[in-house]
Amino acid sequence: MAGSAAQRGFWASRFGFILAAAGSAVGLGNIWKFPYVTGNNGGGLFVVIYLICVVAVGLPIMNAEILVGRTTARSPVPAFGELAGRRSPWVGTGWLGALAGFVILSFYSVVAGWAVYYAFVSITQGFGSGTAAELAQVKTLFAGLIKKPSLNLVLHGVFMTATVAVVIGGVQAGIERWSRILMPTLFTMLIGLAIYAMTLPGAGAALDFMFGLHTEQLQPAGFLEAMGQAFFSLSLGMGAMLTYGSYLPKDTSVFKSALYVAGLDTFVALISSVVIFPVTFSYGIEPSAGPGLVFQSLPMAFSQMPGGRVLASLFFSLLVFAALTSSISLLEVVASTFIDLYGWTRKQAVVLMGLVTFVVGVPSALSFSVPAFGERFKGLVGKSFFDSMDDLSANWMLPLGGLLIAVYVGFFMESSRRQKEFEEGTPPWAYPPWLALLRFISPIAVALVMLKSTGVLKLLGIAS
Ligand code: TRP
């Protein structure tokens, strides 16, 4: 049974929608991944390319997703069913999204579990006071954590349970209320940490690294990497924004909402870097430390700085909050698909899908400790189970989903309906540029990401 709009929850306000959607977008992708990818790509110029990707590719697709959601008031599968016809192959776009939700959440929860662990450690015991012996201990903390199978399963389970608990509460009572509390806390914490970071000796070098245009460091692959990061960070390509948009009242501007969400997401990515790079530059830590950038290097830095224990507790609590407001959007997409399609109760759908996602995530949680999912899996497939899930979703499912959404809304959606819906709440001048970007810029850029993944560009000698 397809739920009608009247049976569904609605956001209490546009502010509630923006907080929740920004909560989905702002997560580990901003705080953990963006600084690290920026570090690997030489800083400044990569940041500029990323910003262009957000505006030229991310924003048009986000508009398309929210528009389809608000228009149909359905989750992805029935949304495409309503627009294109139940038997249309476009419905597959919705299923791809729900599947991507499973895949992303299964490993996302593992990383979030590490954040839970670091929050717990920083609150209960801290990272010492910077003595050589303590620093040596802090340095091995991450390697020790990922090598413990049962601890990783417990942390993964704790985080999934928290996600399930929030999503069971439903759109308004659960997601919107939590986002209202968590998001402003997050922004306040980040700004405070950024102000602190500006007082560090490495602040100047960090700002130059991030915002100085070091053209000599431009790599051909930089544009494509920036593109993929924009997709992941903005929660695009799997119907998360579509689903949140389906709870958006008709009189709310799709365009303005998307602008706020993308703006907040970009702000958090940038300010996270403003927090992290001064720390790495001040304490002699490599900006390209990867997964260790947050989980290894920062605790070492916190250990050496005055007030470090309080700051570490704030930072890792904040990381858990950010991950939770993202994970609830992933589970919401999966659960609402089953609520809308099969008439399951919210509780049934959320608990069952949460359980399935936990099970699918078990090999990811064990990828660093059990050879069958780590080294031996790598021998067979080329990547650990954890890395395979990351690769499958980020390099294949999200770009494909985004491409399909852009092409459907740009070329196949009934044009009068598309225009009427877009202009509801939005000034008409915004329609032509949006449509042009959606038809011709977004799909081409996304196709480039996918061609890079298949190695076609490498064959043609276009990218390294
Ligand atoms: N955007 C989130 C982050 O940056 C992750 C995320 C949540 C996501 N929901 C998504 C990514 C949907 C892609 C699609 O951490």
Question: What is the distance in A from the centroid of ligand 1 to the CA of 27?
Answer: 7
pLDDT (mean) for 311-320: 87
How large a percentage of the chain has pLDDT more than 90? 47
Q: Is residue 346 part of a domain?
A: yes
pLDDT (mean) for 17-44: 86
Distance CA 188, CA 155 (A): 26
Identify which has the larger pLDDT, 437 or 171.
Answer: 437
3-class secondary-structure state, position 170 = coil
Question: What is the distance in A from the centroid of ligand 1 to the CA of 146?
Answer: 23
Q: Is residue 338 part of a domain?
A: yes
pLDDT (mean) for 315-323: 88
> Is any atom of ligand 1 closer than 6 Å to the C-beta of 29?
yes
Q: Is residue 263 part of a domain?
A: yes
Reported as a single tens digit per residue, the pLDDT across 138-147 is 878 988 999 9
The total of other beta-carbon atoms located within 10 Å of residue 382's CB is 10
Distance CA 103, CA 389 (A): 6
Question: Which residue has the least CA distance to atom 10 on ligand 1?
Answer: 235
Question: Which residue has the least CA distance to atom 9 on ligand 1?
Answer: 235
Cβ(79)–Cβ(240) under 8 Å? Answer: no
Residue 360, pLDDT above cutoff 80: yes
Q: Tell me, what CATH number does 37's domain have? A: 1.20.1740
What's the confidence (pLDDT) of residue 376? 94
The residue whose CB lies within 8 Å of the most ligand 1 atoms, and thus the one to mutate among 26, 107, 232, is: 232
- Which ligand 1 atom lies nearest to the CA of residue 100? 14
Q: Is residue 48 part of a domain?
A: yes
Reported as a single tens digit per residue, the pLDDT across 229-284 is 898 999 999 999 998 888 888 878 899 999 999 999 999 999 989 988 888 888 77
The two structure tokens encoding residue 332: 């919401």
For the chain, what is the mean pLDDT? 86
DSSP assignment of 322-340: HHHHHHHHHHHHHHHHHHH
> Is any atom of ligand 1 closer than 6 Å to the C-beta of 336?
no
> Is any atom of ligand 1 closer than 6 Å to the C-beta of 398?
yes
Q: For the chain, how many structural domains are there in total?
A: 1
Task: Count CA atoms within 13 Å of residue 162 on its CB side.
Answer: 21
> What is the pTM for the complete model shown?
0.89
> Is any atom of ligand 1 closer than 6 Å to the C-beta of 25?
yes
> Is any atom of ligand 1 closer than 6 Å to the C-beta of 97?
no
The two structure tokens encoding residue 390: 């990351």
Cβ(368)–Cβ(151) under 8 Å? Answer: no
What's the confidence (pLDDT) of residue 38? 87
What lies within 8 Å, CB to CB, of 297 at 6+ separation is 279, 280, 283, 285, 286, 289
What's the confidence (pLDDT) of residue 60? 96
Q: Is residue 464 part of a domain?
A: no
Question: What is the distance in A from the centroid of ligand 1 to the CA of 305?
Answer: 32
Lowest mean pLDDT among 1-10, 76-85, 299-308: 1-10
Q: Is residue 68 part of a domain?
A: yes
Distance CA 52, CA 63 (A): 16
Reported as a single tens digit per residue, the pLDDT across 140-193 is 898 899 999 999 999 999 999 999 998 898 766 666 777 777 778 888 888 988
**Cα end-to-end distance, the chain, whole Å:** 49
Q: Is residue 384 part of a domain?
A: yes
Q: Is residue 438 part of a domain?
A: yes
Residue 13, pLDDT above cutoff 80: no
pLDDT (mean) for 337-350: 91
The residue whose CB lies within 8 Å of the most ligand 1 atoms, and thus the one to mutate among 159, 186, 318, 329, is: 329
> Is any atom of ligand 1 closer than 6 Å to the C-beta of 238?
yes
Q: Which domain holds residue 89?
A: 5-459
> Is any atom of ligand 1 closer than 6 Å to the C-beta of 122?
no
The residue whose CB lies within 8 Å of the most ligand 1 atoms, and thus the one to mutate among 54, 229, 235, is: 235
Question: What is the distance in A from the centroid of ligand 1 to the CA of 101?
Answer: 9
What's the confidence (pLDDT) of residue 258? 94
